[in-house]
Amino acid sequence: MATPYLSRITFNSVMVPVYAPAPIVPVRGQGSRVWDSDGRDYIDFTSGIAVTALGHSHPELVATLAQQAGQLWHASNVFTNLPILRLATRLTEATFADCAFFANSGAEANEAALKLARRVAFDRFGASAKKEKIVAFQQSFHGRTLFTVSVGGQQKYSDGFGPLPEGIAHVPFNDVEAARQLIDDGTCAVIVEPVQGEGGVIPASRDFLRALREACTQHEALLIFDEVQTGIGRTGTLFSYMGTGVTPDILTSAKALGNGLPIATMLTTREIASHFSAGTHGSTYGGNPLAAAVADKVVELVNTHSVLEGVRDRSKHVLASLRSINSRIGLFRELRAAGLLVGAELSESFAGKARQIMDVALDHGVMLLNAGPNVVRFAPALNIPYECLDEGFARLERALETQLPTLSTESASLAMPR
């Protein structure tokens, strides 16, 4: 059985160094528990960054995958297939959309949405109108392709990869007046996350989203909601827009859609979709029957009153647990939540220590995320058992009590062992 040390050595030898993985190697998951290569168990508060929304090895998803694996794996988009038609029908019947496009990742879905928005403006107004500006927001994250990383409002991800695509402007998130001043007749699209995940788990205000909708309508621009992380039940509705009173023109989603199998979607209206004709865009694996079959079952299982209400109830439980911990150790300055996407911003004494807290928690059997250096992020499975939540928070509190002096920026000892 591979040890963490040998696994790290192997990783550094054979992998392109774009990741800095934790020292453990997960080998098995069941529900909201994960076991590593040494047999140690962990409570999973990450869901693979909001991906395994129904937990690991969900029996109905395993059965669906096995059944489809015995029928058809791939046929290419020269043909269609039954699982993707079922999934597209389920998604369009549940949302504002008429049509779906499928890809493999959130970045690809956003790439498709941004390309479509520019194509719509070109078709409607002509090249001479130069209606090509894309308005996005500081600290946003929309993917890692050159286009999406340029649209994302975090320069650290685009530095060193220039020249970057042009015609992109950024304004502060949740700043209504700044957005109104920038959105004009030269704007083809505004792209926004209803909750900034990588930017710190910051929900958009309803007034902000309404203002974007009004400005886009006024200036004949398309409003794109990036729901790569918030879609498929994460915030307590099937898609986050459903709880805002604002309907976008285009919506993208990925992550939880396949519960771990790579699949993403772009949803839109029939009229907007008509500006993409055969051959103008595509994806070899987009709409793969294996991923589509599982995704169809995921949406069926998630889009129920019991699951979505359970997300809202568990969100309250997570916040109550964090407040209880914080009343004793004073680690967090602010808690922010949209369903089971929860951000705990660190107090000044622990500023910049989110990654170290992840490491400490892992040492005590809890898998956590960060959202920048100052926010610890929680994104457990939507159906995580309450006993797993309680056990995970008990482990986390023990970890923090043990390591708190070494975590404080006021302490002389700042280095955390790996």
pLDDT tens digits for range 148-197: 999 998 888 888 988 888 999 999 999 999 999 999 999 999 999 999 99
Residue 19 has a pLDDT of 87
> How far is 63 from 373, CA to CA, in rounded Å?
40
Residue 409 has a pLDDT of 58
Q: Would you state the structure tokens that stand for residue 136, as one six-digit string?
A: 């996005």
Per residue in 192-222, pLDDT (tens digit) is 999 999 999 999 999 999 999 999 999 999 9
Q: What is residue 219's DSSP assignment?
A: T
Report yes or no on 215 lying in a domain: yes
> Is residue 300's pLDDT more than 50?
yes
Residue 5 has a pLDDT of 52
Strands of 280-340, DSSP E: 332-338
Task: Report the pLDDT averaged over residues 37-49.
Answer: 96
Say yes or no: 169 and 94 in one domain. Answer: yes
Contact at 8 Å (CB) between 198 and 142? no
Nearest-CA neighbor of 255 among 75, 72, 110, 368?
110
Say yes or no: 340 and 195 in one domain. Answer: no
> Is residue 417's pLDDT more than 60?
no
Per residue in 339-350, pLDDT (tens digit) is 999 999 999 999
> How far is 322 from 380, CA to CA, in rounded Å?
14
CATH of the domain at 197: 3.40.640.10
Report yes or no on 281 lying in a domain: yes
Contact at 8 Å (CB) between 258 and 228? no
Say yes or no: 143 and 226 in one domain. Answer: yes
Residue 416 has a pLDDT of 33
Say yes or no: 291 and 143 in one domain. Answer: yes
Q: 256: exposed, middle or buried (C-beta count within 10 Å: 0-12, 13-18, 19+)?
A: buried
Report yes or no on 418 lying in a domain: no
Count other C-beta atoms under 10 Å from residue 313's C-beta.
12
Report yes or no on 10 lying in a domain: yes
Report yes or no on 413 lying in a domain: no
Asked which of 302, 336, 359 is the last residue of a domain, the reply is 302
Q: What are phi and psi of 33, to 5 degrees?
A: -120, 145
Which residues are within 8 A (CB) of 403 and not within 5 positions of it... i.e. 6 or more apart? 360, 416
Number of independent structural domains in the chain: 2
> What does pLDDT average to over the chain?
94
Report yes or no on 288 lying in a domain: yes
Asked which of 282, 302, 322 is the last residue of a domain, the reply is 302
- Please, which pLDDT band fits residue 336 given cuts at 50, 70 and 90? very high
Nearest-CA neighbor of 140 among 221, 228, 219?
228
Per residue in 305-330, pLDDT (tens digit) is 999 999 999 999 999 999 999 999 99
Count other C-beta atoms under 10 Å from residue 155's C-beta.
11
Residue 84 has a pLDDT of 98
CATH of the domain at 27: 3.90.1150.10
> How far is 27 from 36, CA to CA, in rounded Å?
5
Cα 233 to Cα 182, 307, 324, 381: the distances in Å are 32, 8, 26, 10
Say yes or no: 115 and 258 in one domain. Answer: yes
Q: Would you state the structure tokens that stand for residue 77, as one six-digit string?
A: 């988009």
* Amino acid at position 47, single letter: S
> How far is 236 from 204, CA to CA, in rounded Å?
15
DSSP 67-114: HHHTT-S---TTS--HHHHHHHHHHHHHSS-SEEEEESSHHHHHHHHH
Say yes or no: 167 and 260 in one domain. Answer: yes
Say yes or no: 211 and 86 in one domain. Answer: yes
Length, in residues, of the chain: 418
Nearest-CA neighbor of 366 among 340, 350, 348, 390?
390
Q: What are phi and psi of 73, to 5 degrees?
A: -90, -45
Say yes or no: 295 and 373 in one domain. Answer: no
Q: Which domain holds residue 128?
A: 72-302
Q: Would you state the structure tokens that stand for residue 33, as one six-digit string?
A: 């528990």
Torsion, Cα 348 352 353 359, to 10 degrees, reads 160
Say yes or no: 24 and 91 in one domain. Answer: no
Task: Report the pLDDT averaged over residues 270-290.
Answer: 95
Report yes or no on 63 lying in a domain: no
Residue 325 has a pLDDT of 96
Asked which of 302, 323, 341 is the last residue of a domain, the reply is 302
Say yes or no: 148 and 290 in one domain. Answer: yes
Nearest-CA neighbor of 258 among 301, 228, 308, 292?
292
Say yes or no: 50 and 119 in one domain. Answer: no
Say yes or no: 246 and 105 in one domain. Answer: yes
Q: Would you state the structure tokens that stand for residue 410, as one six-digit string?
A: 């006021």
Report yes or no on 416 lying in a domain: no
Contact at 8 Å (CB) between 144 and 180? no
Residue 3 has a pLDDT of 52
Per residue in 235-260, pLDDT (tens digit) is 999 999 999 999 999 999 999 999 99
